[in-house]
Amino acid sequence: DTAVSQTPKYLVTQMGNDKSIKCEQNLGHDTMYWYKQDSKKFLKIMFSYNNKELIINETVPNRFSPKSPDKAHLNLHINSLELGDSAVYFCASSHMGEQYFGPGTRLTVT
């Protein structure tokens, strides 16, 4: 009965490839997020969706494209991967500010 789940947990790929990360939440929350956590542990918000609509889009390269097929799912597609994209990507969902994170996807670009 995992609240927020992500797949895959680990992703190792070469520069230039395209990859996707999937996220699902069963909490019934309307708002979902993608965060990037770099090696220094800083948590940076990338995108936020409310009820399938994009509401926050931080300064993120347009190689990153989120997609929300329904309010329980928020996927992240990354085109033309670069070395600097290596990080842990966390999905989260929230209600009234309380955010719950997924287990994270460790992306390594070689």
**Interaction site with another protein (CB under 8 A):** 30-31, 33, 41-43, 45, 48, 50, 55-56, 90, 94, 96-104
Residue placing its CB nearer to another protein in the complex, 31 or 68: 31
The total of other beta-carbon atoms located within 10 Å of residue 86's CB is 17
The Cα 25–Cα 15 span in angstroms is 30
Would you say 7 or 103 has its CB closer to another protein? 103
Cα dihedral 68, 54, 80, 36 in deg (nearest 10): -90
Is the CB of 13 or the CB of 57 nearer to another protein?
57
